[in-house]
Amino acid sequence: MGTRSKKEETAPRYLRKRRRVRESLIQTFLYFCAGVSILTTLALVIVLGEESWLFFGSHEVDLREFFTTTVWQPAIGRFGVWPLVNATMMTTTIAMLVALPLGLAVAIYLSEYASERARSVLKPTLEILAGIPTVVYGYFALTFMTPLLRAIFGDNVVEIYNTASAGMVMGILILPLVSSMSEDALSAVPRSLREASYAMGATKLETAVQVVVPAALSGIAAAFILAVSRAVGETMIVAIAAGAGPAFTFNPFKAAETMTGHIVRISGGDLSYDSIDYNSLFALGLLLFLITLTLNFISRLFVERFREVYE
Amino acid sequence: MNTPVKCRVYPLEGYLPEGESLQHQIALRHRKGKVWHWLFLTSTIIGIIVLTALLYNIIDQSFGLVVVQNQIDPETLAINGVPLENLTKEQLVSILEQYVSKGVMRRLESEIPFAVRDWENVYQLVQERVIRPEIVLTWRLTESILHRNEIAALVAEQYPKGKLQFRAWINPDFIRGHQSSVPALAGVRTAILGSLWVISITILVAFPLGLGAAIYLEEYAKDNVVTRFIQTNISNLGGVPSIIYGMLGLAVFVRALEPLTSGAIFGVGDPATANGRTVLSASLTLVLLVLPLLITNAREAIRAVPRSLREASYALGATRWETTWHHVLPYAMPGILTGTILAISRAIGETAPLVVVGASTFVSLDPASPFSKFTVLPVQIYQWTSRPQSQFRHVAAAAIIVLLLLLLSLNSFAVLLRNRYRRSV
């Protein structure tokens, strides 16, 4: 503090910047609040990393077996992650088969076709779907969708717990996410592009599909990828309706347990700390965390790209 | 532009349709447009149909005909003509002693001494252990209405002792009742109280933290590497699946901070259950879960405050905090509150993280402090849904109605609050 500027020294005392204790205390508190998010991330990485380290470090497990074998039976010390990952991929794929076409169609309808009045009714109604707790969707999958599927395809084809009904209901849950993000991207396309297309004699459909959708493509892609990430991390629907017990199957009408479903089922029971079961959950958690983080990252890259073009 | 424009190639290349073929083609294109218009509209309607199906399914399951059979007729239990509901607690206990084996009595006594139990509790015990009304068959609402006569005939034939009655699975007793392993007597009281406890503490902690972070990022932070890092970090946290937060809560709040979350350092925890799987652990887990959403919402509300408001305040000599507190926050408050309530309604419906953190499967006592064992509505719904007995499906449906009503009232409260604030600013 030795080198004060000349100006400050000659300024009258009452004009100098006073130090305010209260202000700086408050600022410190606010800084701490913002820092909590960083602490959370740190804690996440440490917890998941440490327990997974213990898991892979134990003599019962080796990394190669974890990623290459297809039997997950902690009771006999078999830890091959593929049955769980496969079930997750199945439910996610089925959910996407429902959510992507429907979501995109809804987005196109709301942004290109619907009148202002229809929009003001339809949009909030669809958003209710996003606000319903996922456990309710799980109930719906088990008590409505599964009986429906069994009535259509026959009781001996469709098991009581199956990935198809869980995936389809998950698709409905994710639909509002896809539609509202895609709609944002569609409405960000400048009006002039549409006018130009109409001026060339294109119909509404041709304008929407051949001009507006391609122009909004990176935003739509972002929505799709985020939807995949959401489906991978979704838990309660699969925990209730997809089945309990890892199974390596490609039949959507058979029961199979996803990564999230497995974590919830095992940790819901009596679990002793520092057991291999406990640690294995964190290894699954780490895998889940890395998958969703990557997907979210890619999704954000796409969003930034379409922002660049039109803003 | 001299790059060649790619166009749609029509059947006859280099030849534009005219006259009749042009008319034909235009009509074709418009027809195609109409068909797709309907397809887009149908997709939108499918969403609404599913929503309707979901609500219909829940209501369908929560009402309907049931056949009830009592093991012991309650009228035979009346003492000197006084019906069971009017007996004193002591008389009820003596009935229990008469019908229930000594071992069971001892177990009940050791759970909670009879001297401490209130009348309601003992009455419920008599219902559960002595009268044992058993629902033997259930129907859904639509079945009950459409096939009423067939059902009546079936019951008369197969359950001559049973009584066919219409049952609303959601009823005052269901809301007031404690948990029970008998579906017909199961209640949702501890779960509602648990949800309220967990959510209140979540709000108390998350609101100041989230608002503080939002104020910092919008009003104080300079645009530098650290700030951008915090922002990216928050949006990353927003995309982490909720179950991962549950694992974080399990490792940090339940295990590492057990002395704090079980209340042991304050000496107030229940030594019998003090294992960190408490209301407090659940709340703190949910705090971390909702913070990213809360911060993002609050930031948007603060960003919408016009710059001129701040400039005017600074011009009058106010400090940064005075400007924020007296001018920015009141203006942004409706938005902040709406955002907070949205975040909270997400927390109320969260199930997976709380199962991982360790919601208890059976809580017979109301939660009394942040250090109590806990269960919450969605976890209770999950447990009932995953039981094999079909009657628990009806109970779960009733609990879902309670949960949805809770969410609905919370959201309407948000709208009211916003309108009120908007008028006063």
Percent over 70 (pLDDT), chain A = 93
Nearest alpha carbon to residue A29 among B291, B124, B208:
B208
For residue A176, give both structure tokens.
């509002």
Ranges of H-type helices in B167-262: 172-176, 189-215, 225-238, 242-249, 258-261
Q: Would you say residue B315 has pLDDT above 90?
A: yes
Interface test with B, best of A50, A55, A135 (most B CBs within 10 A): A135
- A-chain CB neighbours of B225 within 8 Å are none
**Residue of B30, B34, B50 to mutate, testing the A interface (most A Cβ within 10 Å of its Cβ):** B50
Residue contact B44–A105, C-beta within 8 A: yes
- For the complex shown, is ipTM > 0.95? no
Please judge whether B54 and A132 are an interchain contact, meaning their C-beta atoms are less than 8 angstroms apart. Answer: yes
At residue B202, the pLDDT reads: 94
Q: Is pLDDT at B16 greater than 80 in this prediction?
A: no
Residue B258 has pLDDT above 90, yes or no: no
**Does the distance separating the beta carbons of B242 and A240 come in below 8 Å?**
no
Contact (CB, 8 A) for A184 and A219: yes
Which B residues in the span 43-102 are in contact with A, Cβ-Cβ below 8 Å?
43-44, 46-48, 50-51, 53-54, 57-58, 61
For chain B, the average pLDDT equals 84
Amino acid of residue A42: L
Pairwise CA distance, residues B351 & A263, whole Å: 13
Distance to chain B for A251, nearest Cα, Å:
23
The band of B11, judged by pLDDT with boundaries at 50, 70 and 90, is low
Query: Each residue of A27-45: pLDDT tens digit?
Result: 999 999 999 999 999 999 9
Closest by Cα among A303, A284, A290, A310 to A85: A284
Please report, rounded to a whole number, the percentage of residues in chain A having pLDDT higher than 90. 52
- Residue B3 pLDDT class (50, 70, 90 cuts): very low
Give the three-class secondary structure for A122: helix
Question: Average of pLDDT values for B33-59?
Answer: 93
What pLDDT, on a 0 to 100 scale, did the predictor assign at position A41? 93
Q: How confident is the model at residue B13 (pLDDT cuts 50, 70, 90)?
A: low
The helix (H) or strand (E) run that includes residue B332 is helix B329-349
pLDDT higher than 60, residue B74: yes
The pLDDT of residue A307 is 65
pLDDT band (50, 70, 90) for residue A2 = very low
Give the residue-averaged pLDDT of A246-252. 86
Q: What is the mean pLDDT of residues B18-47?
A: 90
d(CA B343, CA B351): 15
State the pLDDT at residue B9. 47
A185-195: pLDDT as tens digits: 999 899 999 99
pLDDT in tens, B113-132: 877 788 888 887 887 778 77
pLDDT of residue B353: 92
Lowest mean pLDDT among A297-301, B199-203, B412-416: B412-416
What are residue B67's DSSP bridge partners?
B137, B164
B244 to A36: CB separation less than 8 angstroms, yes or no: no
Tell me what the mean pLDDT of segment B259-271 comes to. Answer: 72
Q: Give residue B404's pLDDT.
A: 94
Q: Would the pLDDT of B393 be above 50?
A: yes
DSSP track, B241-305: -HHHHHHHHIIIIIIITHHHHTTTTTT-S-TTT-SS-BHHHHHHHHHHHHHHHHHHHHHHHHHTS
The identity of residue B341, as a single letter, is I
Strand partners for B203:
none
Burial status of residue A69 (CB atoms within 10 A of its CB: 0-12, 13-18, 19 or more)? middle
Of the candidates B36, B211, B217, the beta carbon closest to that of A205 is on B36
- B336 interaction partners in chain A (CB closer than 8 Å): none
Which sign, positive or negative, has the C-alpha torsion B218, B224, B227, B232?
Answer: positive
A29 touches chain B (CB under 8 A): yes
- Measure B402 CA to nearest chain A CA, in Å: 12
pLDDT reading at A71 higher than 50: yes
List the single best residue of B351, B376, B392, B410 to mutate versus A (max A Cβ within 10 A).
Answer: B351
Question: In chain B, which residues have their Cβ closer than 8 Å to the Cβ of A294?
Answer: none
In the predicted model, is pLDDT for residue B388 greater than 60? yes
Count of alpha carbons within 13 Å of A273, Cβ hemisphere only? Answer: 11
Question: Hey, is the C-beta of A177 within 8 angstroms of any chain B C-beta?
Answer: no
Residue among B30, B40, B252 minimizing CB distance to A113: B40
Alpha helices, H only, A154-210: 163-187, 191-199, 204-207
A237 touches chain B (CB under 8 A): no
The arithmetic mean of pLDDT across residues A142-168, rounded, is: 91
Residue A295: list chain B partners with CB under 8 A. Answer: 239
Q: A254-268, B268-282, B345-359: which range is least confident on average?
A: B268-282
Instruction: Examine the pLDDT at B80 and tell me if it is beyond 80.
Output: no
> Which pLDDT belongs to residue B43?
92
Look at residue B423 in the predicted model and tell me its pLDDT. Answer: 62
Within 8 A by CB and 6+ apart from B30, the residues are A203
In the stretch 179-198 of chain A, residues with CB closer than 8 A to chain B read: 179
Residue of B nearest to A236 (CA): B352
